[in-house]
Chains A and B, each alone.
Chain A
Amino acid sequence: MAATKIYAIYKDDDLLMQAVKQTRSANYHISEVFTPFPVHGLDHAVGIAPTRIAITAFLYGLVGLSVAVAMMNFMMIQDWPQNIGGKPSFTFYQNMPAFIPIMFELTVFFAGHLMVITFYMRSKLWPFKKAENPDPRTTDDHFLMEVDAENHDLEMLTKFLYDTGASEISLIEKEEDH
């Protein structure tokens, strides 16, 4: 089913912020915003939930730490204990001071990489992915707000968006993808 959207293009971030707030308070639904750089506070103004990606990083870090402990315990204590420079290898606890650096490194390694992979997957970023910004100028200096136009009087909505400071307004019939 095709959805009717209106693309309103703004040429300034402050103008966009103001327009987003006005559009939301006029009870129009903003379905997406494309900006060339992170506009401070825009996520809050659009009303999207805070990201949980930092929590995943913490969990991935715990995984990394566990992997490091399990790996070194198996290799140095269980499987093939050796006397290396007199460092005690009878228990993991006794040998642990020598393992701290690698426990730290693997924590960072797992947390960093898996978090970034999660980010790429969630935001659908990978090589050969086609860009979906509707106007190429939105990576340069233009700000595009996509507003649901269904069940609204198009002329009123257009007039409204024009009054919020949009410099270009266009009507789009879009294949529904969600």
Chain B
Amino acid sequence: MSSHYEAPIREPLVLGDKTYHDISVDVAAPVLGKANKSWWIVFTIALVAFLWGLGCIIYTVSTGIGVWGLNKTIGWAWDITNFVWWVGIGHAGTLISAVLLLFRQKWRMAVNRSAEAMTIFAVVQAGLFPIIHMGRPWLAYWVLPIPNQFGSLWVNFNSPLLWDVFAISTYLSISLVFWWTGLLPDFAMIRDRTQSPFQKKIYGILSFGWSGRVKDWQRFEEVSLVLAGLATPLVLSVHTIVSFDFATSVVPGWHSTIYPPYFVAGAIFSGFAMVQTLLIIMRKVSHLESYITVLHIEYMNKVILLTGGIVTVAYAIEFFIGWYSGVPYENYTYLSFGAATGPYWWAFWALITCNFIVPLTLWVKSLRRNIMWTFIVALIINIGMWFERFDIIVVNISKDRLTSSWTMFQPTFVDIGTFIGTIGFFFVLFLLYARTFPVIAQAEVKTIMKSSGEAFKRLRAQHGDDHSHVQHVEQYPADAGPASNVEKHFDSTFDEATPEALNIDDVDYEQNKGRIEMLLNSVGTFEPSLQKQDNLQKINGIGPVLEQKLHQIGIFTFDQISRMTDREYELVEEIISEFPGSPKRDDWAGQALTLKNKN
């Protein structure tokens, strides 16, 4: 059908000859499989960092904020730096899922799930800092406009800090429902694929009983579209409001009208850098190279280039206006000659190098498509964006209007430990997510398969744009006949095929005698008088035809299949002509082992 047409000049977004079923298998694999050693190592490191940070937070709360390195001049430092850094990172997810949905960018589908997960986990980290900074976090509910015992003294709706409370909590909760709504069909897929009753139960609850009715899908698409429309201005408003924390003050360097758009661009810049950092690792570990391709990485690099460019222009304007104003205080702001040559010169140059100079390399196409280099640049941008917030907060107030109070900031181990702890907490959440959630929005990826899948693009190139896109994949070979599950009382009068006549070629026993003996020697023979035969079709990848052929060879039980190794797989494939399965990919032996143990 021509409705799947996509300009041939566009590179495919799904590589390889994937079928819909392959997508399900690939996305469910990390959830249904077991964690490997490197996952446990990284998880342990993250957990230790998290616990260390938790200790620092407990120490802060029980002793007081005096344990931080704050002084009379610098009353805001790492806490707010880390808060803004984490909120900024949390901007890529909703940008990908909302803004790119409105722009109908198909490449978002491979990355949106993880980017949204990252968003939610990053905003959780961000929210920790203001709460710790309160000193008495058990009174955190005071930021809410609720009637109270102080004569109903209300919260101050004129304050940008209160706007932050509303913006961040709205952002967190809307991102969460957006994410979860998109997850329902994918949880349902795992629910229907898993063999384990425990997983079936859990994913049944998580999927909210999603059934995939046509009306559900219609509402689902409408809800996604409206949520995207709501989340797009929301994501822009959140960092705008964060920037108001500074822009509405009277501190030189903070009091700047350019802050809202500049902060938003910076947030997207750092968010995409974090997405790159996470996904470049995840696509390797979870074997998702066919879905998160070099093209996706290049697209994200282009967003980084654009937003990085906006940030650079904003730096230049800040620098110029500070100088042009002729106000002496402006010469000590974070983007000024004074800052570049003063005691915080290293922070200034870290900002310029990491956010301006290094990302410039992405203008080169070969570097933009180089995965290793992208990873390095993404890490550098993460560092650079942390320095940007550090510079804005600490450098700007380190030299205030009173020369006698000029000072530097020295972090204590608690400052550092808390920051590292939030990084650990973030990775703990993300690693757990990567093992238990469908990390790619598989239902959405299936919708772009025929327009953007490599195999279908090739098909159109070879046979023209009007070529039929009906997939002919032999997954359940029963479709040689009308149906394998036609009920018994229903007599079919089809001439060409009845369920019994599946047009199966019998296995040529004489020719394969040696191979069959070899096979049965290693997997064992079936004794009808002692053993019961198993329903081999329970194994994923074995359909009625294949089952029949296996029976002809003499394989009837899970026990026999569970003893198969690569050598036996090869034998089976040699014996059975026109072999319609892939025992190794589907891991027959592993599946059979689980099924056998359940019997």
Contact = CB atoms under 8 A, between A and B. Distances in A.
Given A126-B208, A127-B205, A139-B192, A105 B492 contact: no
A141 B158 contact: no
Contact of A43 (B157, B192, B215, B443): B215
A12 interface: yes
Interface string B189-231: 1011100000000001111111111111111111101110011
Contacts of A76: 154, 157-158
B148 to A, nearest CB: 11
B487 A171 contact: yes
Interface in B159-178: 159-160, 162-163, 166-167, 170, 173-174, 177-178
Interface stretch (B267-275, B285-293, B475-483, B512-520): B475-483
Interface in B347-372: none
Given A116-B227, A140-B24, A84 B214 contact: no
A32 B157 contact: no
Given A112-B177, A141-B475, A104 B233 contact: yes
A168 interface: yes
A11 B469 CA distance: 12
A12 B170 CA distance: 40
B24 A105 contact: no
6 contacts: A39-B214, A53-B219, A75-B145, A112-B227, A124-B209, A170-B483
A133 interface: yes
Contacts of B478: 167-168
Which residue, B152, B191, B217, has most C-beta atoms of chain A within 10 A?
B217
B234 A119 contact: no
B167 A101 contact: yes
B44 interface: no
Contacts of A28: none
A169 B204 contact: no
Contacts of B105: none
B157 A102 contact: yes
**Chain B interface main SS type:** helix
A123 B226 CA distance: 17
A37 B223 contact: no
Contacts of B482: 158, 162, 166-169
B181 interface: yes
A170 B486 contact: yes
Interface of A: 9, 11-15, 32-43, 46, 48, 50-51, 53-54, 57, 61, 71-72, 75-76, 79-80, 82, 84-85, 87, 95, 98-99, 101-102, 104-106, 108-109, 111-113, 115-116, 119-120, 122-133, 136-141, 154-155, 158-159, 162, 165-171
Contact of B443 (A15, A36, A109, A122): A36
A11 B207 CA distance: 23
A136 B540 CA distance: 13
A23 to B, nearest CB: 13
Contacts of A158: 482, 490, 492
B226 A57 contact: yes
A87 B173 contact: no
A13 B314 CA distance: 49
B486 A169 contact: yes
B446 A115 contact: no
Contact of A12 (B204, B220, B471): B471
A36 B163 CA distance: 41
B545 interface: no
Nearest to B205: A127
Interface in B134-156: 145, 151-156
Interface of B: 1, 3, 19-21, 24, 145, 151-160, 162-163, 166-167, 170, 173-174, 177-178, 181, 184-185, 188-189, 191-193, 204-223, 225-227, 230-231, 233-234, 237, 241, 244, 443-444, 446-447, 450, 468-471, 473, 475-476, 478-479, 482-487, 490, 492-494
Given A15-B470, A125-B208, A38 B192 contact: no
Contacts of B192: 131, 133, 136-140
Contacts of A136: 192-193
A12 B468 CA distance: 11
B156 A116 contact: no
Contacts of A48: 214-215, 218
Given A129-B208, A171-B487, A39 B226 contact: no
B167 A43 contact: no
Given A140-B192, A162-B494, A133 B212 contact: yes
A36 B185 contact: yes
Contacts of B145: 71, 75
A11 B471 contact: yes
Given A119-B223, A168-B483, A105 B170 contact: yes
A32 B214 contact: yes
A40 B487 contact: no
Nearest to A123: B216
Given A116-B177, A137-B192, A87 B216 contact: no
Nearest to B218: A43
A32 B212 CA distance: 10
Contacts of A132: 209, 211
Contacts of B219: 51, 53, 119, 122-123
A141 B218 contact: no
A33 B213 contact: yes
Contact of B184 (A37, A104, A125): A125
A73 B231 CA distance: 26
B1 A111 contact: no
Contact of A131 (B1, B160, B209, B218): B209
B177 to A, nearest CB: 5
Nearest to A13: B450
B486 to A, nearest CB: 6
Given A12-B471, A38-B220, A162-B494, A46 B157 contact: no
B511 to A, nearest CB: 32
Given A37-B185, A124-B209, A155-B492, 5 more contacts: A35-B217, A36-B446, A51-B218, A131-B211, A168-B485
A6 B188 CA distance: 23
A138 B212 contact: yes
A125 B210 contact: yes
A131 B204 contact: yes
Given A101-B166, A125-B208, A171-B490, A38 B217 contact: yes
A162 B471 CA distance: 17
B75 to A, nearest CB: 19
Contacts of B20: 36-37, 140-141
Contacts of A85: 158
Nearest to B244: A101
A82 B218 CA distance: 50
A105 B167 contact: yes
A94 B470 CA distance: 64
Given A109-B170, A113-B177, A155-B493, A139 B185 contact: yes
